[in-house]
């Protein structure tokens, strides 16, 4: 790292802090602080969704996974775009029409408080120990490579302080404003490192020569380490549904939109930006096989690309892009957790608490949350690769909650009793599978787990709901079959173009 690189990174961090802190004066009410006054335009939503998804853990995890398995890991991304399109076309009206702060509040209105609290606790667990901890770990891993004299724990603590400064002051308004700068820096940094990686590898021709032939195919055999083809059909769609349809990290930006049109177009924008991931993150990981053949730990591929390929000045820009991805994911995730604790637990428990007090509660809980994540983050290195840590754990735990959430929207007969026992038996079945795996009684790829758990969960939702008395459901909490008729023609054309772009990518790398 030269002085020029450090100056570039310093200017970027100061710019983020300056932009984020300007929203302080408007974060006075809970709606301002937690949902930006429900007034975000579509482009801010698109930038924020992409920046939150394109996290430091995603950059390091996807690059490392591509290095050892090839582009099959991109299946998570294009199926995620399908989930984005589904959200925009079918769910935006329902979610926004409920006028809630969190997905858990939606489940409270659709079912009862038991489901709300179970869901809130579940999301908090994932946010603290997966989303935020993984991003902090990824940031610490790369920055420790550049500054080996500083411990990873110290680096994680520094990151925590920087993010906390502006996200605690201005709430989601600050976060969405900084995401515009951060997304552009993220993409620029990723494009630069992709350029140097492709040049070093000799372009696509060089990549084809150095990488195994199957590494450039999205459809893989049954014994594939990353994405065996049944997992592509039966596992990834459920994981994509969790991340894009039910996660508070993503839903909070849709809930913050100024209109349904802005929410839908923001989602579409995020989908188009995600098309870049194959070229600027995943293929550079495959390219590294040719000129970095002896890296023992896949999670160190991206740090190695940065330290070994980039000249002075460019290194600072790319590092700024990585820090942007780290900050943008951490601030959004931190805010989502703070919103859940404040609006799902504190406000119901203290009915007379003022808006100003709730905002301060949100800030205080943010500090606690990020502190716990920072303590846990260094331990992630004990669980294999970063990508497998994240996707492996999600495969076991998210399915029952996805079934309860989507079942409540699309099936009017689902009720609180059905939802409760679905969570109990669905989660128990996942635990049982994990125990059988640990005892070596069965041997399943983690992408095979969501489907049987989904079947059990769907049966439980149907069986226990049918065994209960019929309950009236507010129509605004259910999907309307006329929803597509309400979509504007331009939005339907945008959705069709995005689907076409996905088809072309998948066809070219099938």
Stretch 475-480: mean pLDDT, rounded? 87
Answer whether residue 443 shows pLDDT above 80: yes
The pLDDT, as a whole number, for residue 425 is: 97
More confidently predicted of 23 and 331 = 331
The domain locations on the chain are: 3-20+32-378, 397-479
Q: What is the pLDDT of residues 180-212, one digit of tens each?
A: 887 888 888 889 999 999 999 999 999 999 998
Stretch 88-97: mean pLDDT, rounded? 91
Q: Are 340 and 125 in contact (CB under 8 A)?
A: no
Q: Give percent helix, percent strand, percent coil of the chain, each to the nearest 5.
A: 80, 0, 20
Stretch 205-222: mean pLDDT, rounded? 91
Among residues 37, 123, 48, which one has the least CA distance to residue 344?
123
The pLDDT, as a whole number, for residue 218 is: 92
Among residues 1, 62, 63, 57, which one has the least CA distance to residue 301?
63
What's the predicted TM-score (pTM) here? 0.89
Percent of the chain, pLDDT > 90? 41
Which residue's entry shows tokens 């735990």?
397
- The alpha carbon torsion through 98, 101, 102, 108 (nearest 10 deg) reads -50
The answer for residues whose C-beta is within 8 angstroms of residue 481's C-beta and 6 or more apart is: none
Q: Residue 257 has which token pair?
A: 């939109």
Give the CATH number of domain 3-20+32-378: 1.20.1730.10
Stretch 374-384: mean pLDDT, rounded? 74
Q: Cα angle at 192 between 55 and 42, to 5 degrees?
A: 50
Residue 23 pLDDT grade (very low, low, confident, very high; cuts 50, 70, 90): low
Rounded distance between C-alpha atoms, residue 374 and residue 383, angstroms: 16
Residues forming beta bridges with residue 40, ordered by sequence position:
257
More confidently predicted of 154 and 122 = 122
Rounded distance between C-alpha atoms, residue 451 and residue 335, angstroms: 31
Answer whether residue 402 shows pLDDT above 60: yes
Integer-rounded Cα radius of gyration of the chain = 22
The pLDDT, as a whole number, for residue 281 is: 93
The pLDDT, as a whole number, for residue 45 is: 93
Q: Cα angle at 393 between 391 and 398, to 5 degrees?
A: 90
What one-character-per-residue DSSP string does 152-186 give? HHHHHHHHHHHHHHHHHHHHHHHHHHHHHHHHHHH
The pLDDT, as a whole number, for residue 169 is: 62
What one-character-per-residue DSSP string does 8-33 give? HHHHHHHHHHHHHHTTGGG--SHHHH
Rounded distance between C-alpha atoms, residue 87 and residue 263, angstroms: 10
């Amino acid at each position: 790292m030269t002085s020029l690189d450090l100056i570039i990174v310093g200017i970027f961090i100061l710019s983020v802090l300056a932009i984020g802190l300007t929203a302080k004066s408007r974060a006075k009410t809970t709606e301002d602080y937690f949902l930006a006054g429900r007034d975000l335009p579509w482009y801010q939503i698109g930038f924020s969704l992409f920046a939150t998804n394109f996290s430091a853990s995603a950059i390091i995890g996807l690059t490392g996974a591509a290095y050892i398995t090839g582009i099959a890991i991109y299946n998570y991304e294009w199926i995620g775009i399908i989930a984005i399109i589904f959200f925009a076309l079918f769910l935006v009206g329902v979610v926004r029409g409920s006028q809630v702060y969190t997905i858990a509040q939606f489940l409270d209105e659709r079912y009862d408080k038991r489901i709300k609290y179970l869901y809130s606790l579940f999301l908090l667990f994932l946010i603290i120990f997966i989303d935020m901890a993984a991003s902090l770990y990824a940031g610490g891993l790369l920055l420790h490579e550049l500054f080996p004299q500083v411990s990873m724990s110290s680096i994680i603590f520094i990151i925590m302080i920087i993010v906390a400064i502006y996200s605690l002051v201005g709430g989601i308004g600050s976060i969405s404003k900084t995401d515009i700068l951060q997304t552009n820096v993220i993409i620029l940094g990723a494009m630069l490192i992709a350029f140097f990686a492709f040049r070093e590898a000799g372009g696509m021709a060089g990549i084809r020569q150095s990488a195994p032939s199957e590494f450039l195919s999205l459809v893989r055999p049954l014994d594939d380490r990353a994405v065996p083809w049944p997992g592509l059909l039966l596992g990834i769609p459920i994981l994509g549904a969790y991340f894009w349809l039910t996660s508070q990290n993503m839903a909070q930006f849709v809930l913050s939109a100024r209109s349904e049109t802005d929410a839908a177009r923001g989602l579409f924008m995020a989908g188009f930006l995600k098309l870049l991931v194959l070229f600027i993150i995943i293929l550079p990981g495959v390219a590294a096989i040719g000129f970095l053949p002896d890296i023992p730990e896949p999670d160190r591929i991206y740090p190695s690309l940065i330290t070994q390929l980039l000249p002075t000045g460019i290194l600072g820009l790319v590092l700024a892009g990585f820090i942007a991805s780290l900050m943008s994911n951490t601030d959004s995730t931190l805010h989502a957790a703070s919103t859940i604790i404040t609006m799902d637990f504190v406000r119901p428990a203290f009915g007379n608490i003022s808006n100003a007090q709730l905002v301060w509660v949100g800030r205080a809980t943010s500090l606690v949350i990020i502190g716990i994540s920072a303590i846990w983050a260094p331990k992630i290195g004990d669980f294999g690769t970063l990508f497998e840590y994240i996707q492996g754990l999600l495969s076991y735990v998210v399915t029952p909650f996805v079934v309860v959430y989507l079942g409540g929207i699309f099936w009017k007969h689902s009720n609180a009793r059905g939802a409760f026992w679905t969570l109990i038996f669905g989660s128990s079945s996942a635990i049982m599978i994990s125990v059988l795996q640990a005892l070596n009684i069965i041997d399943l790829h983690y992408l095979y787990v969501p489907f049987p758990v989904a079947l059990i969960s769907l049966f439980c939702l149907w069986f226990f709901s049918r065994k209960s008395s019929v309950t009236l459901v507010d129509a605004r909490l259910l999907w309307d079959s006329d929803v597509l008729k309400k979509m504007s023609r331009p939005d339907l054309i945008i959705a069709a173009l995005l689907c076409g772009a996905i088809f072309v990518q998948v066809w070219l790398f099938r």
